[in-house]
């Protein structure tokens, strides 16, 4: 072989090598049939449009890791001087409306707890883009993630999220879940990959479907409603304001073991931090958004300033209004009994079904408390017509549920403020 051939081969090899050392571009391919630039709805958080006859809603979530803050003070943040117990989490981040080339950067260390709320209307074509952005604190893990729409009656097995029977989303890829939103009600969602670990780690969120009857004015007990819990036909599930409340809990020992690559205490999980929507009282009534501030525990990690805790549990209404509480539980350990003092709770739905007999009789019931286990939900209406203005507590009666770890008085409690 002569030297010019050698040079040619060398140049070719260098060229191939150069191709190989290009930065790896993760393929983020978001699918949404709405025209580019369609704004994100402030009501639902979805990109919404009409395509032909179809009402379309699109959402995009990143799945990865991050940190969240507990309500007690055991770690002092060197930057803010604030005391916070920082908990390592796996969860989702809402990136709806963000261009494809920004999804990976925005999603890394951006996990939220609770996971972003999913809000859709019956009959809508719902496109949920889920991008796995990887675990920044656990680069040794290459876990896939899924979204399991818990309780959906028509779950197509391909989109069900149960990883042995359906697709899961590998690191660096995006899957678009598609659902024609089924019957109305309060559902819940979680990642179903290694469910004990990924659910304990925080991949849990509120999910509900509004009824097709919404927008049709129906008179009930002298008042006209346009928002309903179910397609009741008689307005009896009508309400003025709705609030999703999810019962969850966190075991900090489990989360620390995951962060520090230790054996996970599956059988020893405890509800050390009992939470509503990912927060313990008094954070449940704090309107502030908490940051994913990893630098509080790991000064070598730059503070991302990405929001982590966005969902609070503040319930406010004006006297005379009807409040709908979309209560669900994704507690991985205990059953909890939730009580409201001073305002009767009317249960109109259970596990995304209206409480009604086969002959069409309403089977709603009044109560002062309701008990839910993980995976259950209930639709509760509070009629404030005869309720004097004031602050009413909503809390669990399980006494161990009313604390933030070693700090007494906190946990699963929030306030209902009637003006
Ligand atoms: Cu997962």
Which of 71, 134, 82 is CA-nearest to residue 108?
A: 134
pLDDT at 303: 65
Dump pLDDT digits (tens) for 134-189.
999 999 999 999 999 998 876 678 888 888 889 999 999 999 999 998 899 999 99
Dump pLDDT digits (tens) for 4-55.
777 777 676 655 555 545 444 556 889 999 999 999 999 999 999 999 999 9
pLDDT at 7: 74
CA atoms of 347 and 242, how far apart (whole Å): 14
Measured in angstroms, how far is the CA atom of residue 366 from the centroid of ligand 1?
38
Measured in angstroms, how far is the CA atom of residue 139 from the centroid of ligand 1?
15
Measured in angstroms, how far is the CA atom of residue 270 from the centroid of ligand 1?
20
Residues lower than pLDDT 70 in the chain: 1-3, 10, 12-27, 73-84, 154-155, 296-297, 302-304
Measured in angstroms, how far is the CA atom of residue 112 from the centroid of ligand 1?
13
Measured in angstroms, how far is the CA atom of residue 163 from the centroid of ligand 1?
10
Measured in angstroms, how far is the CA atom of residue 308 from the centroid of ligand 1?
17
pLDDT at 288: 86
pLDDT at 23: 44
pLDDT at 72: 85
């Amino acid at each position: 072989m002569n030297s010019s051939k050698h040079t040619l081969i060398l140049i070719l090899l260098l060229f191939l090598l150069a191709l190989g050392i290009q930065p790896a571009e993760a393929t983020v391919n978001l699918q949404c049939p709405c025209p580019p630039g369609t704004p994100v709805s402030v009501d639902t958080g979805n990109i919404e449009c009409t395509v032909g006859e179809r009402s379309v809603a699109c959402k995009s979530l990143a799945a990865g890791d991050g940190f969240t803050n507990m309500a007690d003070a055991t770690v002092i943040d060197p930057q803010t001087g604030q005391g916070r117990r920082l908990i390592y989490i796996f969860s989702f981040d809402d990136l709806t409306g963000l261009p494809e080339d920004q999804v990976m950067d925005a999603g890394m260390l951006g996990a939220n707890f609770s996971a972003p709320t999913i809000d859709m209307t019956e009959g809508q074509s719902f496109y949920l883009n889920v991008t796995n952005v990887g675990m920044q604190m656990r680069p040794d893990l290459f876990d896939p993630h899924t979204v399991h729409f818990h309780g959906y009656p028509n779950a197509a097995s391909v989109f069900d999220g149960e990883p042995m029977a359906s697709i899961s989303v590998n690191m660096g890829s995006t899957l678009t879940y598609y659902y024609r939103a089924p019957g109305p009600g309060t559902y819940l969602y979680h990642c179903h990959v290694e469910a004990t670990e990924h659910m304990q780690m925080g991949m849990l969120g509120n999910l509900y479907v509004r009824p097709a009857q919404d927008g049709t004015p129906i008179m009930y007990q002298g008042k006209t409603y346009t928002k309903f819990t179910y397609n009741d036909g008689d307005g009896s599930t009508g309400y003025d304001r709705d609030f999703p409340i999810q019962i969850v809990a966190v075991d900090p020992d489990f989360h620390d073991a995951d962060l520090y690559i230790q054996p996970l205490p599956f059988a020893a999980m405890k509800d050390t931090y009992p939470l509503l929507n990912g927060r313990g009282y008094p954070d449940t009534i704090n309107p502030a958004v908490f940051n994913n501030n990893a630098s509080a525990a790991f000064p070598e990690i730059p503070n991302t300033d990405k929001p982590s805790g966005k969902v609070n549990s503040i319930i406010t209404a004006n006297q005379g209004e009807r409040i709908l509480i979309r209560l669900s539980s994704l507690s991985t350990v205990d059953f909890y009994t939730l009580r409201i003092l001073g305002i009767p709770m009317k249960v109109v739905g259970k596990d995304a079904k209206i409480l009604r007999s086969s002959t069409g009789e309403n089977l709603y019931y009044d109560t002062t408390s309701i008990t839910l286990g993980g995976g259950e939900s209930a639709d509760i209406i509070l009629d404030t017509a005869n309720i004097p203005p004031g602050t009413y507590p909503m809390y669990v009666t399980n006494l161990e549920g009313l604390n933030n770890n070693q700090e007494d008085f906190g946990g699963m409690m929030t306030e209902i403020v009637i003006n």
